[in-house]
Amino acid sequence: MTKYPLIDGHNDLALRLRMHHNNKLSTFNMHHNPRVATDISRLTAGHVGGQVFAAYVLCTAQDKDAVRLTLEQIDVIRRMCTENPEMELVTTAEGMRTSTKIACLISIEGGHSIDSSLAALRMFYQLGVRSMALTHNCNTPWAESSSSYYTYYQQKNNSLTDFGKAVVNEMNRLGMLVDLSHSSWETTRAVLKHSTVPVIFSHSSAYAICNNIRNVPDEQLLLLKENGGLIMVNFYSSFVACSNNANVSVVADHFDHLKQVIGAESIGIGADFDGAQGFPKGLEDVSKYPALIEELISRNWTEEELAGVLRLNFLRVFRKVEKVRKFILVSSSQFNEVS
């Protein structure tokens, strides 16, 4: 892992900052903090070279102040990554690849953040957002969630509306990763059929091993393979073991299964630390990633396969998405980076 520092696809530390500290970063110890699963010392111990941080806002903010809350989450992640010398904010695959620090990438978790506005999507991109999950646990007016917990915008037979397709098209044009974690199966199928650009699941696991609706069934995995996309495995116990009792081995089972169905080159890691309560024994926080890699080594995963899972697969997909970008941003030298 020293040779291939991990790039993890999904971390909810920003949510913890909001819930427990009202985004008061100045009161938060980023280096050693036992109340969360993520801090700089443990990221370093876990050989994390890149982390996608989710700028997530609650579904209950949909149609209310979701946009403003999203801007605040983007702001707190930016501040977190620019105020600590061990971290740095990146916005490109190359930036992530060459960083010698903990490279931060900003993602959005849920289309409700854009309030059905392509302009808002574009402005989020300009703020450095490079990935968006189309839904969280709530439907948007244009895409469907895998969860029926909320009753927003429930519609039958319309899991990706024309506007939803426009959103995906705009994301493709901008070079923003389309993230299908949390989307309903119908939405996922619709996107996989519609997108000509590789997509990702930033934090989902294999349905065949644990039949939780947040996981990806084999049939969709095959569509994903065709699409050239990436599934980044979630470590949350309920998703890997379908129970509160999980360990490194069952997580590794997901990797083995995915390798068997679509090959190691389509796999990444999106542990979802700080996004849930209840992680496997041996994988409680961001310092524990090496335990998983050791287990995979013992299951005869090759260096090449592991290098891919750790970072190269993500970089490859991200680079492809960037290549498709037809949008030329005003060069960043015209903007002063201010914390």
Strand, helix or coil for residue 109:
strand
Interface pick for other proteins out of 45, 123, 208, 276 (rule CB under 8 A): 123
Contacts of 11 (CB under 8 A, 6+ apart): 38, 51, 52, 53, 54, 271, 272, 273, 274, 275, 286
- Residue 48 CA: distances (Å) to CA of 52, 218, 230, 318: 11, 29, 19, 18
Footprint of other proteins on 137-196 (CB under 8 A)? none
Closest CB 297 distance from other proteins, rounded Å: 37
Cβ of residue 221: shortest distance to other proteins, in angstroms? 34
DSSP element (H, E) containing 13? helix 13-21
- Of the candidate residues 24, 35, 193, 323, the single one contacting other proteins (CB under 8 A): 24
Among 40, 61, 89, 191, binds other proteins (CB under 8 A): 61
Task: Determine the Cα–Cα distance for residues 97 and 7; give it in Å rounded to an integer.
Answer: 10
Least Cα distance to 42 among 8, 15, 72 occurs for: 8
Q: Which is nearer to other proteins, 76 or 133 (CB)?
A: 76
Question: 3 exposed, middle or buried (CB, 10 Å; 0-12, 13-18, 19+)?
Answer: exposed
Per CB under 8 A, which region of 60-68, 141-149, 262-270, 305-313 contacts other proteins?
60-68
Q: If binding is defined by CB under 8 A, does position 72 make contact with other proteins?
A: yes
Interacting span for other proteins (CB under 8 A) from 116-124, 202-210, 294-302, 315-323: 116-124
Q: Which residues contact 40 (CB under 8 A, 6 or more apart)?
A: 30, 31, 84, 86, 87, 102
Instruction: Tell me which of 3, 35, 86, 119 binds other proteins, using CB under 8 A.
Output: 119
Closest alpha carbon to 251 in 192, 286, 202, 209 = 209
Active site residue 182: yes
65 is catalytic: no
99 binds other proteins (CB under 8 A): no
The answer to whether 224 contacts other proteins (rule: CB under 8 A) is: no
Number of residues that bind other proteins (CB under 8 A): 40
Active site residue 10: yes
Closest of 201, 211, 247 to residue 10, by C-alpha: 201
For residue 121, list its beta bridge partners: none
* Residue 250 and residue 205 in contact, taking contact as beta carbons nearer than 8 Å: no
Q: Which of 35, 94, 98, 117 binds other proteins (CB under 8 A)?
A: 117
CB of 61 to other proteins, least distance (A): 5
| Binder among 78, 130, 182, 288 for other proteins (CB under 8 A) | 78
CA 306, 307, 313, 314 torsion-angle sign: positive
Residue 138 in tokens: 């709530």
**Shortest Cβ 73–other proteins spacing (Å):** 8
Residues 29, 60, 196, 302: which binds other proteins (CB under 8 A)? 60
Binding residues vs other proteins (CB under 8 A): 18-19, 22-26, 57-58, 60-61, 64-65, 67-69, 71-72, 74-76, 78-79, 83, 115, 117, 119-120, 122-123, 126-127, 277, 328, 330, 334-336, 338-339
The residues that are catalytic are 10, 12, 109, 136, 182, 203, 272
